[in-house]
Amino acid sequence: MRTHFRWATCAIAAVVLAAMLCPLAASADTLKNKQSGEIIRGTLTTQRVSGKNIFRLDTGGTKLINPDEWQAMPEAGKPPPNAAPMKSTAPTAPALPTTTVGYIIPLTGPIMTRALIEAVEKAIGEARTKGATVVIFRMNTPGGRLDIGDELIHMIEKIDWATTVAWVSGEDKQCLSLGAYICLSTHKIYMAPGTTIGAATPYRISTGSAQVDEKMISAFRARFRSLAEQRGHEKAVADAMVDGTTSVVEAWVDGKKTVVTAEDAKRLEEEHKNDGKFKRGHTINEPGKPITLTCQEAVDYGIANGLAADETELMAKLGYDRFQTASADWLPPWVEKVSAERKAKIEKLRTDFRLNLKKALLSDPHRTGASSRTAWTNATDKALEYLKECARVLSEIEKVSKDKRYDLPIPQEAINDMKVEMEALYSLLQKDRVP
């Protein structure tokens, strides 16, 4: 675990003055809005204005809040508390700079194995146990399987006890396709210098080649827009990451910068041609291929919240001057090891079935032409023993094929074919067991 400290000095006179001005203040609090997910840090007081409590922000100023609408966040190193009414305490001196626990979960390389789902679920559990208030998904991936991505996103969306952050950083300097999809499910996105994000057109793999499925694109676009809108990322750009036929442009409406589709730009231009409230900027992408953004473009166009070259800078951008972090460094090697073991198990089961079926066929007296009744019976019994082992292996194969943890499920059609081969030989042997 790494610890970073940056202490601000505080004069005794400031402490006295704060106590005089804030006689009803509580101890330092970190609160999260139950509805919006907004996190504020500072001091909750018992002073009320218009039926709301005054909350003194660490960054300066105050905010009027209804305590029932906010959830107390855990202190560093402690598990999240159960929801309970917030209580004020006796006056205290001004709080030191905020401390948090950040937990980093690396998502590196192609996202192609279901073992990753188990690993991320375990890592999220560790983050909660450690009392993390920020869960950081360190993204460095070219993409992967949509079914796995959907399950990862579902887990991320269920994190309501911490701020979730996607940090695009790593050797490959990219977060493409499914990686961009996962990023949009987090509360905030930050990018290291030199990284890229985007190119999220989904492909269906069929007969060894990647094919674009229009129905899949339509559903994926809707999901991208929904995630972007939910988390406050620019949905027009998110849409264009998926569909290369969508063109987006910069625009200013009433002096406010935004990003809109080329079609919306034409409509707005027509609506405001007489009042001058619309100004069209440059075209971000022409139709033809989905958007891939540089790190600065991602910030400029509303996909990312900012740039962060390293962990310290990232935490500073999130508002933490003093913090502790832990990382699930065990995750990549664990996923690789478990995936390899499961793949090897499936291959061994396939091999064992074929080997025993082959031995049964070679022992079949119809093939060997047993010279006597005793030899015929012995050969038949030997073949039936091999078929018995085939049945045992096939039962294990069926069990594995229904286990969602495995990446290489054997199709039911293939299992049916194996059954037919085995049962055909079994019936023949039983029928002619005694010649």
DSSP-assigned letters across all residues of 169-219: -STT-EEETHHHHHHHTSSEEEE-TT-EEE----EEEETTEEEE-HHHHHH
Angle between helix axes 146-157 and 115-129 (nearest 10 degrees) is 10
Mean pLDDT value across residues 320-335: 93
Q: How much is the pLDDT for 212?
A: 56
Q: How much is the pLDDT for 240?
A: 86
CA quadruple 192, 193, 194, 199: dihedral, nearest 10: 50
pLDDT at 207 over 60: no
pLDDT at 119 over 50: yes
Per DSSP bridges, beta strands 256-261 and 248-253 are: antiparallel
pLDDT at 7 over 80: no
pTM exceeds 0.85, yes or no = no
User: What is the helix (H) or strand (E) element at residue 40, kind and residue range?
Assistant: strand 39-49
Q: How much is the pLDDT for 407?
A: 83
Q: Is-contact 264 257, C-beta < 8 A?
A: no
CA–CA distance, 203 with 188 (Å, rounded to integer): 27
CA–CA distance, 111 with 304 (Å, rounded to integer): 22
Q: Counting runs of H as helices and runs of E as strands, what totals does the chain give?
A: 13, 20
CA–CA distance, 137 with 106 (Å, rounded to integer): 6
| pLDDT above 70 coverage of the chain, percent | 83
Mean pLDDT value across residues 149-177: 95
pLDDT at 128 over 90: yes
Angle between helix axes 214-231 and 235-242 (nearest 10 degrees) is 160
**In a 3-state reduction of DSSP, which class is residue 53?**
strand
pLDDT in tens, 333-380: 999 999 999 999 999 999 999 999 999 999 999 888 877 888 999 999
Give the CA angle between residues 24, 58, 304 to the nearest 5°.
145
pLDDT in tens, 40-76: 888 888 777 667 887 887 776 778 888 888 888 765 4
pLDDT at 430 over 90: no
Domain range summary for the chain, segments of one domain joined by +:
2-72, 101-240+289-329, 248-283, 340-431
Question: 196: pLDDT confidence band, cut at 50, 70 and 90?
Answer: very high
Question: 434: pLDDT confidence band, cut at 50, 70 and 90?
Answer: low
CA–CA distance, 297 with 46 (Å, rounded to integer): 44
Give me the residue label for tokens 């970073």.
4
Mean pLDDT (the chain) is 82
Q: How much is the pLDDT for 216?
A: 72
| pLDDT above 90 coverage of the chain, percent | 46
Separation in Å, CA 385 to CA 42, 169, 367, 429, 433: 74, 57, 17, 11, 13
pLDDT at 80 over 70: no
pLDDT in tens, 420-429: 999 999 999 9
Structure tokens given for 430: 């039983």
CA–CA distance, 186 with 344 (Å, rounded to integer): 35
pLDDT at 11 over 60: no
Q: At 217, give phi and psi (nearest 5°).
A: -60, -45
Mean pLDDT value across residues 267-292: 85
Structure tokens given for 350: 């396939």
Separation in Å, CA 181 to CA 203, 217, 222, 365: 14, 13, 12, 60
313 Cβ neighbours under 8 A, 6+ residues apart: none
Q: How much is the pLDDT for 386?
A: 96
CATH of domain 101-240+289-329: 3.90.226.10
> Which residues, in sequence order, are bridge partners of residue 152?
none
371 Cβ neighbours under 8 A, 6+ residues apart: none
Q: How much is the pLDDT for 296?
A: 95
Q: How much is the pLDDT for 334?
A: 97
